Amino acid sequence: MAAESMDALEASLQRQGTELTRTTGNEFATTLADAVVEPAVGTDLSALGLSYGDAPVTVDPTPKELLAAHTGVTDVRHAIASYGTLALPSDARGTEPVSLYPERHVAVVPESVVVPDVATALDRVGDDFDVGDDSLVLATGPSATGDMGALVYGVHGPTEIHVVLVTDR
């Protein structure tokens, strides 16, 4: 991934008040444990070659565990650097509810899924749709609404986002 896209992602996340921690695959479990506020639930990250290790995360949570969780940990299908937008799959693993119900969402972003702009993301989304991965949620920053006047956070999703960027080096 080009350094410019990584820098753009970091700047976009910073503008929206989203935390970013860079780590490697080898240091992932330790980094994640520092980003999680218990109780925590998450989706299986083994397809990324990542393990929760000793991080206190319940994988495949029950509805009760999901509702009680303070942190939800998921992977991200694409990250759009220019906006800091995360494309989250809506899948059978429960990525969407795990990312939306808890107050804090920890998004695991492999460096390989960072794209520079919306046009590139749409090309990749088109490829995903072609193979049947045809449902996803685009999220930019913490949940916020101004429908009732003053800006209110957390009405439709998490109030905090923390991106753990897993670099290839």
Helix, strand or coil for residue 79? strand
User: What residues form DSSP beta bridges with 161?
Assistant: 105
Question: Which tens digit of pLDDT belongs to each residue from 65-74?
Answer: 999 999 999 9
> Over 90: is that where the pLDDT of 4 sits?
no
Instruction: Provide the whole-model pTM.
Output: 0.91
Give the pLDDT of residue 134.
79
For the chain, domain boundaries: 3-167
The CATH number given to 3-167 is: 3.40.50.10420
- Please give the residue that has the higher pLDDT: either 159 or 40: 40
User: What residues form DSSP beta bridges with 89?
Assistant: 136
Q: Residue 94 is encoded by which pair of tokens?
A: 């429960």
Backbone dihedral region of 46: left (phi > 0), alpha (psi from -120 to 50 degrees) or beta? alpha
pLDDT bucket at 145, cuts 50 / 70 / 90: confident
